[in-house]
């Protein structure tokens, strides 16, 4: 959360940068990456630019950590919320949450923090961002689902996300898929990617070959979408030791487990293997997949036809 008081932007040679023209970043050190053969700066956000006063900023709690000797001025009477609330896109998202039943599902599985989770959904869609440190800026000038429009700090958000249980996550997914039309013919667009992790020791995170290699542990994330209705159906996380080509079997089993009976898959070439094609056939699931032309059995089929 940013303080209401204003301080001078620290004048530390080579250590201060401005991100997105708003956020003041402080370089705490540099980390050498052997594979890249150069140092990468480690930065933290210490405040945001004060638009009305040149050379000044609104500090956050990290500012006090790195600049403890700076005397903070007394807080002024600046309001906690903006006098101009941006309500348009929020109303659209609110209606979608209600019409889709997601609002009721959130209240069922996250009763204590249903307002905060709903706000995080709206924030991620409207701002196209999921970084907790930028959420208070969004909450300052947007309507909120929390009681009394309470603006939670990034510390509260991090604590909430950390304490979400597998029972809550899977229970929500079960409820969501329970309401889908299982007898309807659907094609599931399926893909996976990997995310670099720098949040400390996470059991599922493992070192491996990343699409964006930054020498950090990796988690695989796969998502299945209803191709026609463009609705997300289910997702899963996997350790990096499970390669992309092997993930498809887990997702096929998940689709069967959720009760989808008339399902096909739309896949890219990363899932192309004899084993995957046989597994889809065994489960009587039609598919569209980009073939690997250099595969021996594909060459044979092409020549034969």
Tell me the pLDDT tens digit for each residue of 208-254. 555 555 556 667 777 777 877 678 888 777 665 666 666 788 888 88
Task: Compute the distance between CA of residue 276 and CA of residue 285 in angstroms, rounded to an integer.
Answer: 11
Taking 50 as the pLDDT cut, the residues of the chain under it are none
pLDDT at 96: 93
Shortest CA distance to 135 belongs to which of 93, 114, 122, 24?
122
Residue limits of CATH 3.30.420.10 in the chain: 181-304
Which residues are CB-contacts of 198 (< 8 A; sequence separation ≥ 6)?
216
pTM over 0.95: no
pLDDT at 158: 84
Task: Compute the distance between CA of residue 266 and CA of residue 271 in angstroms, rounded to an integer.
Answer: 10
CATH number of the domain at 181-304, please?
Answer: 3.30.420.10
Element housing 179 (H / E): none
Task: Compute the distance between CA of residue 127 and CA of residue 294 in angstroms, rounded to an integer.
Answer: 43
Phi/psi at 241 (5° precision): -65, -20
Task: Compute the distance between CA of residue 101 and CA of residue 117 in angstroms, rounded to an integer.
Answer: 15
Task: Compute the distance between CA of residue 157 and CA of residue 133 in angstroms, rounded to an integer.
Answer: 9
Task: Compute the distance between CA of residue 5 and CA of residue 150 in angstroms, rounded to an integer.
Answer: 20
pLDDT at 151: 87
pLDDT at 41: 86
pLDDT at 211: 55
3-state secondary structure of 263: strand
pLDDT at 124: 92
């Amino acid at each position: 959360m940013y303080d209401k008081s204003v301080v001078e932007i620290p004048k530390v040679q080579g250590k201060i940068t401005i991100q997105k023209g708003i956020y003041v970043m402080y370089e705490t050190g540099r980390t050498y990456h052997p594979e890249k053969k150069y140092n990468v700066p480690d930065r933290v956000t210490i405040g945001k630019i004060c638009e009305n006063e040149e050379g000044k900023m609104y500090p956050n709690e990290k500012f006090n950590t790195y600049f403890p000797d700076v005397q903070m001025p007394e807080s002024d009477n600046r309001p906690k919320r903006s006098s101009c609330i941006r309500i348009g896109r929020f109303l659209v998202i609110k209606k979608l949450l209600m019409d889709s039943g997601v609002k009721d599902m959130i209240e069922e599985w996250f009763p204590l923090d249903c307002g905060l989770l709903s706000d995080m959904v709206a924030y991620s869609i409207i701002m196209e961002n999921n970084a907790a440190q930028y959420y208070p800026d969004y909450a300052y000038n947007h309507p909120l689902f929390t009681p009394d429009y309470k603006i939670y700090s990034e510390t509260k958000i991090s604590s909430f996300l950390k304490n979400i249980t597998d029972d809550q996550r899977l229970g929500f997914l079960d409820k969501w898929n329970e309401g889908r039309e299982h007898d309807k013919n659907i094609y599931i667009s399926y893909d996976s990617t990997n995310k670099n992790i720098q949040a400390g020791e996470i059991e599922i995170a493992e070192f491996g070959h990343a699409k964006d290699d930054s020498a950090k542990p990796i988690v695989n994330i796969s998502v299945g979408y209803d191709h026609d209705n463009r609705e997300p159906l289910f997702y899963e996380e996997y350790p990096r030791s499970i390669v992309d080509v092997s993930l498809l079997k887990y997702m096929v089993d998940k689709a069967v487990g959720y009760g989808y009976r008339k399902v096909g898959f739309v896949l890219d070439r990363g899932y192309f293997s004899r084993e995957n094609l046989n597994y889809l056939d065994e489960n009587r699931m039609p598919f569209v997949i980009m073939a690997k032309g250099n595969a021996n059995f594909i060459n044979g089929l092409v020549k034969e036809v």
